[in-house]
Amino acid sequence: MFHVTSLREEHLEESYEIEKLTNPTPWTYKNFKSSFEVGHFGLICIYKNQIAGFAIYSPIKPEAHLLNIAIAHKFQKKGAGALLLNTIFDQCTVMGIKTIYLEVRISNIKAILFYEKFGFKKDAIRENYYTGEHKEDALLMSKVLA
Ligand SMILES: CC(C)(COP(=O)(O)OP(=O)(O)OC[C@H]1O[C@@H](n2cnc3c(N)ncnc32)[C@H](O)[C@@H]1OP(=O)(O)O)[C@@H](O)C(=O)NCCC(=O)NCCS
């Protein structure tokens, strides 16, 4: 049903549209653009001709940081997030990455359950990590790759 490919510059706009509808404090288009320009690794999940979701991570051996992942509402709970995450695990393993880190809003239960399903452990709470209109603590999670 889905397939994964690299995020290229022409995918930024569509990915940003997904971000706006799925994240209470979305990255701006400028955030997407500069993330792309500094060389973060991006993946998109495709269904037919549409982008179902994207994931962006930064590998700095021996660690990687998952910076953003979102699936458009109509494609959620259909395995797209799992496919993106498993592709990141495969790429990180090839690169010699040992641990993947991420932050998630403490109230984002579905994302926390999603990460736990894929072996991420809860490490710590970072207080007042999210600022602005929707202030919130972050849960720090990590996964050690086999
Ligand atoms: C979190 C998110 C990326 C998951 O992507 P997804 O494609 O919907 O997830 P999948 O269909 O691949 O689910 C894989 C597993 O994760 C867990 N999971 C996913 N969504 C879940 C939900 N709403 N409730 C409980 N568990 C969930 C389940 O264990 C699921 O396995 P199952 O289908 O066998 O039950 C997606 O919900 C999303 O984009 N949310 C909005 C953006 C966001 O919160 N991003 C994370 C920011 S840190």
pTM over 0.95: yes
pLDDT, one tens digit per residue, over 100-133 is 999 999 999 999 999 999 999 999 999 999 998 8
Pocket test for ligand 1, best of 31, 43, 68, 77 (most atoms within 8 A of CB): 77
Q: Where are the domains of the chain?
A: 3-144
The CATH code of the domain at 3-144 is: 3.40.630.30
Residue 43, token pair as written in the block: 């993946």
Residue % of the chain over a pLDDT of 70: 100
CB within 8 Å of 89: residues ≥ 6 apart: 100, 118, 143, 145
Residue 11, token pair as written in the block: 């995918």
Q: Give residue 132's pLDDT.
A: 87
37 Cα: distance to centroid of ligand 1 (angstroms): 28
* Largest Cα–Cα separation, the chain: 41
